[in-house]
Structure 1
Amino acid sequence: MGFGGTPMLRLLYKHNEQRLDRPGGTWGPPLRSGHSSISRKAVGRPMKGLLLELADAVQHAVAAIEGDPSEVLGRGADGAPSTRIDRVAEETVLRVLDYEGAALNVLSEEAGYVDRGGKATLVLDPIDGTHNALRGVPAYSVSMAIGHERLSDIQEALVRDLVSGATYYAVKGGGALLNARPIRVRNPVDLDDLVFGVYLGSHAAPDASEVAHRARRVRALGAASLDLCLVARGASDLYYMHSSIVDAKLRAVDIAGAVLIVREAGGLVLDLKKKELDMALTSTARTDLVAVGDRRTLDVLP
């Protein structure tokens, strides 16, 4: 069904006259009382329909932004600047959750933890790759995962490439999908033809360039969720993120969705001690990581 095909999604257009730069401004449909069937689902049951609805809403709300998407409207839960595009995406998700009566708490990049009386939590990065979006680099996503207290608790995840529309989805124990088709990591790899994704920004640790030199080709999208999904689909053999400063390390909201997708596609997501990555689902926890499709790829690292 297209974006305009449900009453809720049509309301996103009808009720967006109140912009975020106005006092009390909101984005999306008005709240309604009561609860939809979504709120009556038992915790742990797949909520793919809701996640797809949220992704559709964000994709179209971002495309319809009026004003300067890079305008800083405040600071997020971690103290980083919060731009209009970030705020629009987050407000859209919160509005859809309210409209659907979805009994989910929210942990988001901008708002932090929002207790909505749920037993499970939606871990949300409304725009992963904000800098890309603002510079016109076509690599940014909305990343969502449903879990409880830790990364290992994540039960379901969806990452939507907001440029191409590619949709990655996984449910724990059920495998990973790209646009509804099963995906698997590349395993076995050809060790003479490795493709790596490596963070090489100004805050990259010194060993990052050494890792990059071990690959035949290096790709870096600048959006961790999409870099990880490339590993999940077998397009990349490794994703390596090692920052020299804490503030540039990855947060739970950045990776919660994509970590489950990689693991359900048969890959490994490890900390830099090569142990299975786990972390608290909080707004302050940060980490480095390495993700691979074939464990043998770890042997080529410095």
Structure 2
Amino acid sequence: MDFWTEILSFAEETTHRVGAQLLIDFGHTQETQKADGTLVTQSDRWADQEIREAIAQAFPEHGVLSEEVEHIFPDTDWCWIIDPIDGTTNFTRGIPLWGISLGLLYRGTPVFGHVYIPPLNHSFHGFWYGDSGLTGPTGAFLNHQPIHTRPDDPSGSQFFNLCARSLDVLRRNDPFPCKVRMLGVASYNLLTIASGAALGGVEATPKIWDIAAVWVIVQAAGGTWHSLEPEPIFPLQVGKDYSQQPYSTLVVSRAELVPFFLPLVQSVVSSA
């Protein structure tokens, strides 16, 4: 088994195993509120530990950064970034849209992403090497079928996704040039662009574990990732604590749409 096949097999087997237990817990778990106001459940903590232990056993030389425990970026060439349940509020309320996200970084930049949505049995993955010098398989996939972004122009029949903290976009832009959707899951918000369901989406305050995997999949599918922050997101810095760092982001299906949507969503940075 070559390296990338091993990586993909590990990601799929681990997230499907963890996801099977989470489906049992789904809608039947107590939540508590973290200091930043987001929810956390025992299921989040269990899944985080299960995935970290699986990585330590399969790839002991790889580092780990996770939402619930490990927030300091390690001094390793390879590092996994884990979001054990993206969409915890949906998970606790019985809304069947939440996922498990794994991103693999090489020298601080994501090169492989995998997101599993257990209630839908949707498994997304992609490879994107940038200027890393790495080679291997390419493309973005949903259940092993290739996916691509949508080529259409903005219109009333096309979708654009907002997050809960970007509602000011609607107040300041009436009417908005696409049908608006709000999904409650940062990774799935942006994956709908990779899969061709939506033309674009914005996330006002995602953390690094929300975006590491989808950063790869979106670009591998032909999409454009546009940071709304002054500094580039990647590469991550060794020794930095990423627990409180947000990354306001605009994602669109093709580069030509950045100047169209950017003036409409740029305010989410100041209002978040």
> Normalising by the residue count of structure 2, what TM-score does the alignment of the two structures yield?
0.79
Q: Which stretch of the first structure deviates more once superposed, 96-105 or 162-171?
A: 96-105
Tell me the alpha carbon deviations over residues 48-80 of structure 1, each in whole angstroms, 9 at most, x when there is no partner.
Answer: 1111111112211212449952244x959x785
Question: Structure 2: which 5+ runs fail to align?
Answer: 130-137, 265-272
Aligned with residue 8 of structure 2, among 48, 58, 70: 48
8 Å contact kept, 1:46–1:171: no
Give the one of 209, 222, 243 matched to 1:266. 222
CA distance in 2 between partners of 1:122 and 1:110 (Å): 14
State the 1:149 CA deviation.
5.2
For the 8 Å contact 2:27–2:93, the answer to whether it is kept is no
Q: How high is the sequence identity, in percent, across the aligned residues? A: 22
Q: Show the 5 A alignment for 1:135-154.
A: 135-148=93-106, 150=108, 153-154=109-110
Equivalent residue, structure 1, for 2:253: 293
Provide, for residues 231-256 of structure 1, a one-character-per-residue CA deviation record: whole Å limited to 9, x for no partner: 001101010123xxxxxx11110111
Deviation at 1:108, TM superposition (A): 0.5
Alignment of 1:222-237 (within 5 A): 222-237=184-199
Aligned residue number for residue 114 of structure 2 = 158
- Letter in structure 1 aligned against 2:220: E
After TM superposition, the structure 1 stretch with the greater mean CA deviation from structure 2, 190-199 or 115-124, is 115-124
Given candidates 70, 73, 79, the residue that maps to 1:121 is 79
Amino acid at match of 1:154: P
State the Cα distance separating 1:278 from its structure 2 match. Answer: 4.0
**Which AA in structure 1 matches 2:176?**
R
Distance 1:211 1:273, change over 3 A: farther
Which structure has more RCO (C-alpha within 8 Å, separation ≥ 6)? 2
Q: Is the 8 A contact 1:104 1:116 kept in 2?
A: no
Quote the Cα distance in structure 2 between the aligned partners of 1:51 and 1:212: 42
**Alignment partners' CA distance in 2, 1:172 and 1:146:** 11
Q: Which residue of 2 aligns with 1:61?
A: 21
C-alpha contact (below 8 Å) 1:212/1:218 kept by paired residues: no
1:185 maps to which of 133, 149, 168: 149
Contact 1:195 1:215 in 2 (8 A): no
Change (3 A) 1:61 1:119: farther
> Over aligned residue pairs, what C-alpha RMSD do you find?
3.2
Residues 194-246 of structure 1, C-alpha deviations (whole Å, 9 max, x = no match)? 310012x3x4363354458323311111101001100001101010123xxxx
Secondary structure, counterpart of 1:236 in structure 2: coil
Task: Say yes or no: does 1:195 pair with 2:153.
Answer: no
State the match for 1:19 in structure 2: none
Pick one of 207, 211, 220 that aligns with 1:255.
Answer: 211
Contact 1:208 1:240 in 2 (8 A): no
Residue 92 of structure 2 is aligned to residue 134 of structure 1: yes
Q: What displacement does 1:286 show? A: 1.2
Gaps of 5+ in 1: 1-36, 243-248
For 1:240, the equivalent position in structure 2 comes to 202
How many Å apart are 1:89 and its aligned residue? 1.3
- Describe the shift of the 1:61–1:69 C-alpha distance in structure 2 as closer, same or farther (beyond 3 A): same
TM-score by length of 1: 0.72
**Alpha carbons of structure 1 residues 68 and 47: separation in structure 2 relative to 1, 3 Å:** same
Structure 1 residue 137, shift from structure 2 partner = 1.2
Preserved CA contact (<8 Å) 1:46 1:156: no
For 2:254 and 2:74, how far apart are their aligned partners in 1? 40
Please report how far the alpha carbon of residue 106 of structure 1 lies from its aligned counterpart in structure 2 after TM superposition.
1.0
Secondary structure of 2:119's match? coil
SS at match of 2:166: coil
Deviations 1:245-302 (A, max 9, x none): xxxx111101110111000000001023799754637333211111000334331543
Alpha-carbon distance change, 215 to 45 in structure 1, aligned in 2, over 3 angstroms: same
Shift of 1:162: 1.9
